[in-house]
A and B are shown apart, each in its own frame.
Chain A
C-alpha cells in the first residue's frame, strides 16, 4: 500500500492509503477532519473545497497521492489557535450566510481564495461569478454574497472599491 506525507492544518501526517483514495477521503476518513463535506460525485457542488498550497481545490477531484508534500488547509484549521475566527467565518455568521451549514465549509474556503485572488476589488457580479463552483440549496446566495463583500475589506485592510 502506498503512503502519502503531507501537512494538514500545520500538522505533518504520513498515511498508508489505497492508491485510489481521494484527498477528501483521506481528510474525512483517515484524519477525521469531517468538516470538509461531500455533496456530489461530479465535482459540481464545492462542499469539499480545501486549500492546497494556498489555492482552493475540490478535494473530491484530487487523489490523496497527488497531495504529497503539500500544505493543506481545511475549515478546521482556519481559526487562530486561541479560537479567533477568520474574518470570512465571522462574516458568514454576521450576515446569516448559512442555514443548514452543509455547504458552508466549502463556501468559506472558496470565498477566502476568491477574495485573496482579487486584491484589486470585486463587484457583486464578480463574487457571484466566482461562486459558480459552489452550490447552496438553502440561502439563495443573497447573504453569502453579502458576507464575502463584507469580509473583503477586513482581509485586505482597506475599503472595498468595486473593480471595473
Chain B
C-alpha cells in the first residue's frame, strides 16, 4: 500500500509543474536545431483577390536570404492540398463541396492571412525584412464578410464552382413529426440568435520546425500539436506524400490548444518540405497578430430556434435553422462541428419528443472556422438555454420550474434522443438543485435589493446542459463522415525493477495527464506515482493514437490504459502462479502484490517483472518473456457530462459595464481521478465562457478585414474580469467505459455562456429586454439602458 494515498480521487500535486515553474519547459519555440534557418510566411492583406504576379527577385537577393518559395514551386513537386478529415452529405445525399485548400495560395487569395509565400533566411529578422521586399500584384475581388453576405443573391463566390458559397445544406431529425407537433401546439416561442465568432488564443503561439536527415532520408517535424500522429498521417499521406516510417512528428510541451492545435496547418507542410529542399532545419514561429489571422477560429453561427409547447408548458417539438461559417477553406474537422457535435445536442437535457434541425454551412472570405473548446456543444447549449429563458419570459413560467418540468428524469436512462444520441447516464434535477443551493439562489432577491440601493442592476441566470464527448466510436463516426478512427491506444511497459512507463496516444497541453494518468496506473498497479512516467507527443515513441480533443483523453485513452494494465495483471498472475507453485485461479492481485489466496505467499509486481525479463525460472513454453502490453480501446458510445451553471452579475447603469460577481458550476463529469485538476479545468473553461459572453469577439468589417487582430483589439478575459469560480461535482458514472469517467475539459466553456447572458438579461428585466447577443459589451448594455430609461420613468 502506498504511504500517501495518490490513487483515484486524490488531489495529487502535478508531476509536470516543476519544469514549468522553473523555466525548463520544452516548447517548440524553445527548440533550436543545428544549422537552423528561419521562415517567415508572407500573408495576404486582401480578403479576396486574384494573384496576378509575385516577383521574388529582390527578396531573394536580400541579405541572409536562402530561399523564397511560392505555390508554383510546390506544384512542381505535385504536393497535395490540406485535407479535410470529415465529409458531410447534403439533404439530397450528395457530398459537401470540398474545394481545394492549397498550402500556399494559388491563383487567388481568399482571406486576410492566406499564406502566399515563404521566405527563408539565416535569421528571423532577415527573413522578415526580405518578406517586405516581395512584389505582389493583386486584383481585388468583392469580398464575402459574413454568413449573411455569403447567401445573398449575387454574392461573390469564394470558390469558383461552389454555387451560392454553400459547403453543405444538411439536416437531422424527423421534419414531419416536428411540423405536426407545431400544428397542434398551444404556443410557439421563437428566438433569433447568433453565436459570436471567437479566436482560441492559446498563450503559446503556434510554431513548427522541419528537419531532414540526408543520411537516412528521414524527416522530423516539431510542432505545436494536440495530436502528432494525426498530423503525421495527414501531412505524410495526403500533402507531402512521405511514407510514415520516414516521418517523425514531435509535439513536446504545448502551451494550450483548446482545439486550435488539432488541425493540420499549412506551415507544418511548408517547413517540412522546405527542410527537405534546403537540407537544413527550417523554423517558423507565429506572431500573435499572425495567429489571429491563421489559427482556426471558433463558433460563428446565426440561428433561429422555435419551440412548440402545450398549454401546461411541456415541450412538444423544437425546430432550428442554423447558418454557419466555414471560413475560406475547410479546416481539418470543420464540417463535423456544426453538425454532429452541435445539432445532435439540440435535445439537450429535455425530453422534447421531436427535434428537427437544418444546418447550412457557407464559405466566406474569413479565416477557417473549426472546433474551439466545446466545439458545437456550446452553440447548442447557448441556443437551448437562451430559448428556455425566453420561453419563461414569453409564457410567464418560472425559469427553474420550466426546466425541471421538461428534464429527462434520472430513471429514464439510457435515453434515446430524437437526434441520434443515446445518453447513458445523468441526473439533471440533482445538479440543478445543488447548483441553486451553492449559489444561494433563494436569497437572491435580497442581494438584488442591496445592489439596487447602491445604484447597481443585479441579475442571476442559470444554464442546465448536457454535452457529448469522449469521442468516439470509430464505426459510428465513420458512418457520420469521419475519415479517421477515434479509438485510443496505450502501451504499458513494466521495467525489470518494477517502475512503469506508459506511452499514450493522447497529448497533454495543460490537462495534467502526467499526473492523472500516473494516478490511474498507481491505483491499478499499486505502485507510487514517482515510479510512473507518462510519455506522449512523439510518434517515434508512442503507438498510433489519435490525440487529445473532445474531452477524450481519460474516457478513451484512460480506458486503453486500463485494458493494457489488465493484460499486465493477467500475465503477471501466470508468472506468479509458476513462481509460487499455485494455480492461476488462486492468484489474486491487490495493492501491487500477487498473492496465493488464503496463504501469506506473495510476490511484488517488481519481483514478477524481474522474473519476466530474467526468465530463468519461468513458464517459457507457454509464456513469452517481458512485461510490456499494448491495448487499443474503441469507445462504445460518447460520454455525456452534464450539469448546471449559475451566474450572478452586477451592471453599472451609468457605464453599462457588467461585473460577474458570482459563478457556481455543478458538473457531472463521471468518476473524478484528481479533484484539483478537474476543478482547474472547469474554472478555466468557465473563464473562456465568460469571455465569450461578455468580452470576446472576432470582428470582420464589411470589407472582410479582420479588425480585431491583436490583444489590443480582441478582449481577452483578465484577472480582474473573472470572479472566483465555485466548482462542485455530482457524479453519475458513465456506464460503458471501465472507469465510469465522462470528461471535464470542455464543460466549463459549454455550460457557462448562457448562464452569463441569462443573468445579464435578468439584471435588465425592467428594461423590456428579451434577448442580448454575445458579447454583452458595455456599449450594447448602455444603449439598452438608455433606450429603456424613459420607459422606466413613465411607469
Interface assignment of B405: CB less than 8 Å from any CB of chain A: no
Q: Which of A35, A92, A100 contacts B204 (CB 8 A)?
A: A100
Interface assignment of B202: CB less than 8 Å from any CB of chain A: yes
Also in contact, A108 and B21, with CB within 8 A (given A96-B14, A102-B255, A140-B725) = yes
Q: Are B720 and A137 in contact (CB under 8 A)?
A: no
- For A128, the chain B residues whose CB sits under 8 A away are 719-720
User: Which among B19, B30, B719 has the highest number of chain A CB atoms within 10 Å?
Assistant: B719
Q: Are A132 and B719 in contact (CB under 8 A)?
A: yes
Interface assignment of A56: CB less than 8 Å from any CB of chain B: no
Q: Are B25 and A93 in contact (CB under 8 A)?
A: no
The A51-110 residues at the B interface (CB cut-off 8 A) are: 74-76, 78-79, 85, 89, 92-94, 96, 98-105, 108
Interface assignment of B114: CB less than 8 Å from any CB of chain A: no
- For B511, the chain A residues whose CB sits under 8 A away are 99
Also in contact, A45 and B22, with CB within 8 A (given A99-B512, A101-B16) = no
Q: Are B719 and A145 in contact (CB under 8 A)?
A: yes
Q: Are B23 and A74 in contact (CB under 8 A)?
A: yes
- For A101, the chain B residues whose CB sits under 8 A away are 16-17, 19-21, 25, 253, 255, 510
Also in contact, A141 and B18, with CB within 8 A (given A99-B511, A100-B509) = no
- For A150, the chain B residues whose CB sits under 8 A away are none
Q: Across the two chains, which residue of chain B brings its CB closest to A92?
A: B21
Q: Are B711 and A44 in contact (CB under 8 A)?
A: yes
- For B22, the chain A residues whose CB sits under 8 A away are 35, 75-76, 78-79, 85, 89
User: How many Å lie between the Cα of A44 and that of B718 in the bound state?
Assistant: 11
Q: Are A144 and B719 in contact (CB under 8 A)?
A: yes
The B669-705 residues at the A interface (CB cut-off 8 A) are: 676-677, 679-681, 683-688
Q: Which of A28, A93, A140 contacts B686 (CB 8 A)?
A: A140
User: How many Å lie between the Cα of A141 and that of B716 in the bound state?
Assistant: 12
Q: Shortest Cβ distance from B296 into chain A, in angstroms? A: 15
Q: Across the two chains, which residue of chain A brings its CB closest to B724?
A: A142
Also in contact, A132 and B718, with CB within 8 A (given A20-B125, A100-B254, A137-B203) = yes
User: Which among B23, B256, B680, B725 has the highest number of chain A CB atoms within 10 Å?
Assistant: B23
- For B289, the chain A residues whose CB sits under 8 A away are 41-42
Interface assignment of A162: CB less than 8 Å from any CB of chain B: no
Q: Are A137 and B258 in contact (CB under 8 A)?
A: yes
Q: Shortest Cβ distance from A149 into chain B, in angstroms? A: 11
- For B720, the chain A residues whose CB sits under 8 A away are 125, 128-129, 131-132
Q: Are A39 and B288 in contact (CB under 8 A)?
A: yes
The B698-754 residues at the A interface (CB cut-off 8 A) are: 710-712, 716-720, 722, 724-725, 748
Interface string of A15-34 (1 = CB under 8 A from B): 00010100000001000011
Q: Are A102 and B23 in contact (CB under 8 A)?
A: no
User: How many Å lie between the Cα of A143 and that of B21 in the bound state?
Assistant: 14
Q: Shortest Cβ distance from A44 into chain B, in angstroms? A: 4
Interface of A: prevailing SS: loop
Q: Which of B19, B510, B710 contacts A138 (CB 8 A)?
A: B510
Q: Shortest Cβ distance from A64 into chain B, in angstroms? A: 13
Also in contact, A98 and B21, with CB within 8 A (given A39-B288, A137-B256) = yes
Interface assignment of B205: CB less than 8 Å from any CB of chain A: yes
User: How many Å lie between the Cα of A34 and that of B204 in the bound state?
Assistant: 13
Q: Are B23 and A99 in contact (CB under 8 A)?
A: no
- For B254, the chain A residues whose CB sits under 8 A away are 100
- For B288, the chain A residues whose CB sits under 8 A away are 39-42, 45
User: How many Å lie between the Cα of A76 and that of B711 in the bound state?
Assistant: 27
Q: Are B203 and A47 in contact (CB under 8 A)?
A: yes
User: Which among A33, A36, A94, A142 has the highest number of chain B CB atoms within 10 Å?
Assistant: A142
| Contact-size category for A | 35 or more
User: How many Å lie between the Cα of A139 and that of B719 in the bound state?
Assistant: 10
Q: Shortest Cβ distance from B426 into chain A, in angstroms? A: 25
Interface assignment of B364: CB less than 8 Å from any CB of chain A: no
The B535-594 residues at the A interface (CB cut-off 8 A) are: none
The B447-477 residues at the A interface (CB cut-off 8 A) are: none
Interface assignment of A135: CB less than 8 Å from any CB of chain B: yes
Q: Shortest Cβ distance from B512 into chain A, in angstroms? A: 7
Q: Are A40 and B711 in contact (CB under 8 A)?
A: yes
Also in contact, A75 and B509, with CB within 8 A (given A129-B720, A131-B720, A137-B258) = no
Interface assignment of A8: CB less than 8 Å from any CB of chain B: no
Q: Are A38 and B711 in contact (CB under 8 A)?
A: no
Q: Shortest Cβ distance from A142 into chain B, in angstroms? A: 5
Q: Are A39 and B688 in contact (CB under 8 A)?
A: no
Interface string of B267-308 (1 = CB under 8 A from A): 000000000000000000001110000000000000000000
Q: Across the two chains, which residue of chain A brings its CB closest to B287?
A: A41
Interface assignment of B27: CB less than 8 Å from any CB of chain A: yes
- For A45, the chain B residues whose CB sits under 8 A away are 203, 288, 711
Interface assignment of B29: CB less than 8 Å from any CB of chain A: yes
Q: Which of B13, B203, B287, B719 contacts A93 (CB 8 A)?
A: B13
- For A28, the chain B residues whose CB sits under 8 A away are 30
The A118-142 residues at the B interface (CB cut-off 8 A) are: 124-125, 127-129, 131-132, 134-142
Q: Are A140 and B203 in contact (CB under 8 A)?
A: no
Q: Which of B24, B201, B683 contacts A143 (CB 8 A)?
A: B683
- For B204, the chain A residues whose CB sits under 8 A away are 37, 39, 100, 102
Q: Across the two chains, which residue of chain A brings its CB closest to B713?
A: A42
User: Which among B22, B258, B685 has the highest number of chain A CB atoms within 10 Å?
Assistant: B22
Q: Are A138 and B21 in contact (CB under 8 A)?
A: no
Q: Across the two chains, which residue of chain B brings its CB closest to A35?
A: B23
Q: Are B722 and A140 in contact (CB under 8 A)?
A: yes
User: Which among A39, A92, A99, A140 has the highest number of chain B CB atoms within 10 Å?
Assistant: A140
User: How many Å lie between the Cα of A98 and that of B19 in the bound state?
Assistant: 11
- For A143, the chain B residues whose CB sits under 8 A away are 680, 683
User: How many Å lie between the Cα of A137 and that of B200 in the bound state?
Assistant: 9
User: How many Å lie between the Cα of A142 and that of B125 in the bound state?
Assistant: 38
User: How many Å lie between the Cα of A34 and that of B39 in the bound state?
Assistant: 19
Also in contact, A142 and B21, with CB within 8 A (given A37-B204, A40-B711, A137-B688) = no
Q: Are A142 and B725 in contact (CB under 8 A)?
A: yes
Q: Which of B23, B253, B717 contacts A33 (CB 8 A)?
A: B23
Q: Across the two chains, which residue of chain A brings its CB closest to B24?
A: A35
Q: Are A138 and B684 in contact (CB under 8 A)?
A: yes
Also in contact, A89 and B21, with CB within 8 A (given A44-B710, A142-B724) = yes
Q: Which of A76, A96, A127, A135 contacts B203 (CB 8 A)?
A: A135
User: How many Å lie between the Cα of A104 and that of B17 in the bound state?
Assistant: 10
Q: Are B125 and A36 in contact (CB under 8 A)?
A: no
- For B256, the chain A residues whose CB sits under 8 A away are 99-100, 102, 137-138
- For A137, the chain B residues whose CB sits under 8 A away are 201-203, 256, 258, 684, 688, 716
Q: Are B683 and A139 in contact (CB under 8 A)?
A: yes
- For B688, the chain A residues whose CB sits under 8 A away are 137, 140
Q: Which of B20, B30, B205, B679 contacts A34 (CB 8 A)?
A: B30
- For B679, the chain A residues whose CB sits under 8 A away are 96
Q: Are B509 and A96 in contact (CB under 8 A)?
A: no
Also in contact, A38 and B29, with CB within 8 A (given A93-B14, A100-B510, A141-B722) = yes
Q: Across the two chains, which residue of chain B brings its CB closest to A103?
A: B203
Q: Across the two chains, which residue of chain B brings its CB closest to A99?
A: B510
Q: Shortest Cβ distance from A128 into chain B, in angstroms? A: 4
Name 27 A/B residue pairs within 8 A (Cβ), A-sorted. A20-B125, A37-B27, A38-B205, A41-B288, A41-B289, A45-B288, A75-B23, A76-B22, A76-B23, A93-B14, A100-B254, A100-B256, A103-B203, A105-B23, A124-B724, A131-B718, A137-B202, A137-B203, A137-B688, A137-B716, A138-B256, A138-B680, A138-B684, A140-B683, A140-B725, A143-B680, A144-B719
User: When A and B form their complex, which 7 residue pairs have the shortest distance between CB atoms, in order from nearest?
Assistant: A35-B23, A101-B20, A102-B255, A140-B687, A100-B510, A75-B23, A44-B711
Q: A33-B23, A93-B14, A142-B724 are in contact. List 8 more A-B contacts (CB 8 A).
A: A35-B22, A39-B205, A47-B203, A75-B22, A78-B22, A103-B203, A139-B680, A145-B724
